[in-house]
Amino acid sequence: MTTRLGVADHLDPRGSDLLAVGFGTTVAMWTVGYVCRFPGVNAPSWLLMALLLGCLTAGGWAAGRFAGRGVRGGLQTGLLAGVLNLLVLGSLLSGGDTPNQITPLAVWWVPGSLLVAGTLGGLGAALAQQRPDAGQPAPLSRHGLAGFTAVAAAATFLLLVAGGIVTGSQAGLAVTDWPNSYGYNMFLYPLSRMTGGIYYEHVHRLLGSLVGLTTLVLAVHLQRVEDRRWLKNLGLVALVLVIVQGLLGGLRVTGHFTLSDNPDLTRPNLWLAVIHGVAAQVFFGLMVALAVFTTRRWREAVPAATESGANFERNVSLWLLGAILVQLTLGSLLRHTDTALMAHISLAALVLVAGLTLAVRLINLGRDLPLLRRLGHGLLHGLTLQFLLGFGALMARNLAAPHGGPHPADVVITTIHQATGALLLATTVLAVLWTRRLCSGRDQSEQPSTKEEATC
C-alpha cells in the first residue's frame, strides 16, 4: 500500500510521526519538570533527573515501537526533544545576579545535552527493536499527523492548567515586566529565582512559548503535507490566535508595550486577563478540532443513517457548545473580578440539563456508533465531576488562608474545576464534529443505498 506521495506505507515519508513523538517527549518532560519543581513538592534533583532521562528513553522507544523508525528515528526524536528543551536550559545556564549573562559552562552544556538526548533516544529505539512484534506495521506511520495535532492539544491543556494555577494563586502579576522577567531575557531567568508566585507565572510563560512554537511548526507542517486548503487555513488561524494570546497575556501585565520592570510605569489590565482566559479556552477547542480533522477516520468515514435521525443530537451539541463557552466566560469573570457568581451558577443548571440530555442521546445513538457512545459516557462522567467540583469551589471561597492570600484548597479545587471545564469543552467539540461526520441525520424511513453507506 502506498501513500499519496507514493512512498511505502511502512514509514511516514512526511515526518509527521517524528514530530508527534519528539514534541510528545518534550511535553512529557516539561510536565514532569513542572510537577517536580512545584512549590511544596520540590522533588530531589536526582529523582527529577532520572525521570527526565527516562522520558527521553521512552520517547526513543516510542519512535521505534509506534513509528517504526529504528535507532536512527530514536536518535532524531531525542535530538528534537533536546533542541526544544533549550527553551528551559537557559534557566540553568544563567549567570545569576547579572541579567542575561551565560555561564562559560554553556559551551559544554548545550552540545552535551543534545548528545545525551540523542543517545538516550537511540537507546530507547534499540530496546523497542527487541520486541517480538518489532516487525509489525507502526501505528504512527498512518496516523502521524493526527498524533502531532493531539500532542499540540495536550500541550495546550497543560498550559491551561498552569494558567489556572496562576489565577487561583493570584500570581498573575508576580513578574512585573514582559516579555522580559525582572530585566532578564525570559529564557535566561535563573531557576533559583523561580519561587512562589514567580514560579507559577514564569513557568506559565515558558509553557506558552512551547505551545506557540508547537503551533508554528504545526501550521507550517500543514502547509507542506495537507491537500485540504481549508485545513491549511485553519492551521494559520490557530497560529494567529496563539500569537494574539501571547500578546494578551503580556499586555495584561504591562498594559502597554514597555520593557520596564518598574510597577509605577506599567498599567496592569484586569479585563485583558479575562479575555486572555476565555481566548485560551477557544484556542484549546480549535486545537481539539484540528486533531479531529487530521485523523484518517475523519477523511474516510462514510455518514450512516441512524434509527431516528441525528438532527436533534446535532442541534443540542451545538447549543451545549455555545452554553459552555458562555459559562467559561462567566467563570473567567468570577475568578478575575469576583463578579457574575449567580449568573455562573444559574447557567450551570442549564449546561447540566443540556449536557445530560446530549449524553443520554449519544449513548443510545452509539449502539451502532461506539465512538458516539464513548463521547456520551465522557460527557456524563465529566458533568457529574464538574457539578461536584463547582459545589466544592463554592465552599472553598469561604476558607481563609493562614498567612493571607488564597487558601490552598481554593486554588486546587478551582483549578481542577477550570481544567474539567476545558475537558467538557473538548468533549462537546468532539460531539459537534462527530455527530455531523458520522451521522447523515436522515429519517428512519430513508434507507442507505449501499451496505458500505450503512456503516461507519
Reported as a pLDDT band with limits 50, 70 and 90, residue 97 is: confident
Q: Are 207 and 162 in contact (CB under 8 A)?
A: yes
CATH match of 301-398+406-442+449-456 with 1.10.3210: no
Q: Are 266 and 254 in contact (CB under 8 A)?
A: yes
CA 265 distance to own-chain centroid: 34
Mean of pLDDT values over 291-304: 86
Whether the pLDDT of residue 2 is over 50: the answer is no
Give one DSSP letter per residue of 208-253, joined into a string. HHHHHHHHHHHHHHHHHH---HHHHHHHHHHHHHHHHHHHHHHHHH
Closest CA to 226 of 138, 148, 139: 148
Summarised one tens digit per residue, pLDDT across range 337-392 is 989 999 999 999 999 999 999 999 999 876 778 899 999 999 999 999 999 999 99
Dmax (CA) for the chain in angstroms is: 77
Residue 445: what pLDDT?
38
Q: Grid coordinates representing 272?
A: 485583558
Contacts by residues 265-271 (CB-CB < 8 Å, ≥ 24 positions apart): 266/176, 266/177, 268/172, 268/173, 270/336, 270/337
Closest CA to 15 of 213, 233, 299, 221: 221
d(CA 21, CA 138): 13
| Amino acid identity, position 375 | L
SS3 2: strand
Residue 132: what pLDDT?
64
Whether the pLDDT of residue 146 is over 80: the answer is yes
d(CA 359, CA 237): 30
Q: Grid coordinates representing 321?
A: 457548545
Domain spans of the chain? 301-398+406-442+449-456
Q: Are 321 and 429 in contact (CB under 8 A)?
A: yes
Please give the model's pTM, rounded to 2 decimal places.
Answer: 0.91
Q: Grid coordinates representing 405?
A: 492570600
Reported as a pLDDT band with limits 50, 70 and 90, residue 196 is: confident
Closest CA to 418 of 318, 211, 280: 280
Q: How many residues does the chain have?
A: 456
Q: Are 168 and 39 in contact (CB under 8 A)?
A: no
Q: Is the dihedral of CA 83, 86, 89, 90 positive or negative?
A: positive
Average pLDDT, the chain: 88
Residue matched to cell numbers 521505534: 64
Q: What is the DSSP letter of 138?
A: P
